[in-house]
Amino acid sequence: MAELISREGNKVSFRVAVPAAEVNRAYDQVWAGLARDVRVPGFRPGKAPRKVLESRVGKGYVENEVRDRLLQAHYPQAARELKLSLVDAQIEPETLASGQAFNFTVRGETYPEVTLGDWRTAQLTATAPDITDEVLDRTLSDLQERNASFQTAERPIEATDQVTIEELGEEGGSYPVYLDVAEAHVRDALLGKSVGDEVEITVPAHQHGDHEHPEHTVRVRVQGVQTKQLQELNDEFAKSLNFESLDRLRTDLRGELERRARQEGDAARREEFVNHLVDGMQADIPQALLDRRRESMLEEIQEDLGRQGVKWGEYESFMREQGKLDEFMADLSKNAESRVKRDLALERLAEDLGVQVSDAEFSSTMNALAQANGLTPQQLQSQLGPNGINAYFVSLTREKALQQALAALGGDATSTNEGSTDEASTDTSDQTAGTEQATTQEASQPQAGEQAGEQTDAEAQRSE
């Protein structure tokens, strides 16, 4: 049961009372989990007394687990009950004890007042790329290239060869170079050379990541030359890719290209519509809200760098030395503002449309998300935390509103969970969109897209 305590501007506080029966249920669930998972010498699984289990996991462990379980369930539920869309919240739990009701207070901020323009008159112009015969032929040619074989050639290097070179000097090492995709300075240096020739390759000054590399020379020796052999586009080629004929390959490949083109068109319409919402929106956005989003994004960047073994302090010092720190922080602030505006526009859209996500819908989506990440629903909730769960619920509501609005405008609305990765600060939320499913084929036939790979996306884009 949730009770609103105060609401001044966009600041709000409310109190939540969890009945004793639900507290006891949470205790029983935690104890049951411990009995199942904790092995105690001298006791059969599930038979160890609770005091013995507590001595194994530490005093206070059970209370912390029960408290977390109750907050994860009842904080988002209370926010929905009070129809509050919270930007941020501080949860203040009170004493927890078995057999007694559990109370906690939430103090937070709601989104500022937002007014949208007349989005119902929006004229969306984004369309899916056309999959023409030319696009299909180029994609088939790419398949030929990807499935080409190479044979040793006793002649000077030509433009489509694969060349194995050995880099001379202390670094050393041998590696293949595909001349048809090599950079111009590499290709020009190697053309016409033969096995055994030593070649100097002048690498022009360039920037790689955050590092500026001056012009320098690399000396290499040609170790081998192989010529590319393309298979003829016929039924035999199709069978080598596990298709019964070239016609079947062309049909399936066209279907896959069209499916991806439709997805690209849907994504473009979604982006166009959201930009239209933001452009027509009126809102007085508190600076504190922008600052919090910027800090949240900066923390994500720092965590990403940490996973790569890079300390933020070192990266910050490098950018300062390069004179790029101010530009980096300005871009971060700009991106934070853009994300906040998109969130506000979609939040207002959901309110205007009266969109609701039922508890059953939310539970079903959370269960699917947990399964996709190899987690139990409880593990996922623990990873997200109360704020993350609430944020994920908000993102689902916005997504549902976006789909309804696009459907009203006559656009195909495909779910990609707009905003969910912005809101829920966890890696698992990135996977809410799920894995793309291929076009339905006969069980005995593989997908053309599986053979074409990412090239089909590039071809669909070039068809515009």
Q: Tell me if 138 is assigned to some domain.
A: no
Higher pLDDT, 387 or 300: 300
Query: Quick one: 213 and 358 in the same domain?
Result: no
Average pLDDT over residues 52-75: 83
Domain co-membership, 266 together with 362: yes
Contact 179, 190 (CB under 8 A): yes
Residue that is last in its domain, among 83, 110, 137: 110
- CA-wise closest residue to 76 among 398, 393, 428: 393
Could you give the CA distance from residue 250 to residue 127 in angstroms, rounded to a whole number?
Answer: 23
Predicted confidence band at 411 (pLDDT cuts at 50, 70, 90)?
A: low
CB 248 within 8 A of CB 445: yes
Q: Would you place residue 285 in the very low, low, confident or very high pLDDT band (cuts 50, 70, 90)? A: confident
Whether 103 and 222 share a structural domain:
no
**Domain tally, the chain:** 3
Residues 385 and 291 in one domain: yes
Residue 30 pLDDT > 80: yes
Q: Domain limits at 61?
A: 2-110
Within this chain, do residues 182 and 295 fall inside the same structural domain, yes or no? no
Q: Of 205, 229, 253, which residue constitutes the final position of a domain?
A: 229
pLDDT reading at 101 higher than 90: yes
- Does the residue 136 lie in any domain? no
Residue of 270 and 49 predicted with greater confidence: 270
- Other C-beta atoms within 10 Å of 362: how many? 18
Is the whole-model pTM more than 0.85?
no
Shared domain for 350 and 399, answered yes or no, is: yes
- Quick check: helix, strand or coil at residue 100? coil
* Residues 281 and 164 both lie in one domain: no
Torsion of CA 439, 445, 449, 451, to 10 degrees: 170
What is the model's pLDDT at position 402? 95
301 lies in some domain: yes
Q: Is residue 8 part of a domain?
A: yes
Of 196, 229, 262, the residue at which a domain comes to its end is 229
Amino acid, res. 166: E
Q: What's the 3-state SS for 383-446?
A: HHHHHHHHHHHHHHHHHHHHHHHHHHCCCCCCCCCCCHHHHCCCHHHHHCCCCCCCCCCCCCCC
Spatial neighbors of 381 by CB under 8 A, at least 6 apart, are 69, 72, 73, 366, 389
Let me know whether 332 and 261 are in one domain: yes
**By C-alpha distance, which of 129, 59, 91 is closest to 269?**
129
**Dihedral in degrees, nearest 10, Cα atoms 406, 408, 413, 416:** 50
**Strand 2-8 and strand 174-178: pairing?**
unpaired
pLDDT of residue 443: 28
**CATH number of the domain encompassing residue 383:** 1.10.3120.10
Same domain, 217 and 258: no
pLDDT one-digit tens code per residue, 122-168: 999 999 999 999 999 999 999 998 998 999 999 999 999 999 999 98
Q: Would 135 be classed as within a structural domain?
A: no
List the CATH number of the domain containing 61.
3.30.70.1050
Q: If we measure between CA atoms, which residue out of 446, 434, 420 comes closest to residue 255?
A: 446
Q: Is residue 202 part of a domain?
A: yes
173 and 302 share one domain: no
Please report, for the domain that includes residue 174, its CATH number: 3.10.50.30
**161 located within any domain:** yes
Q: Is 52 or 301 the better-scoring residue by pLDDT?
A: 301
Contact 375, 383 (CB under 8 A): yes
Q: How far apart are CA 238 and CA 346, in angstroms?
A: 47
pLDDT digits (tens, 9 = 90+) for 198-245: 999 998 887 765 567 788 888 999 999 999 999 999 999 999 999 999
- The single residue listed with the structure tokens 């769960």 is 389
Could you tell me if 68 and 182 lie in one domain? no
Element (H, E) at 24: helix 20-37
Indicate whether 140 belongs to any domain. no
Q: Residue 450: pLDDT above 50?
A: no
Residue 287: the pLDDT is 81
pLDDT of residue 268: 94
Report whether pLDDT(379) > 60: yes
Residues 222 and 248 placed together within one structural domain of the fold: no
- Label residue 385 by pLDDT band (50, 70, 90): confident
pLDDT in tens, 173-185: 899 999 988 999 9
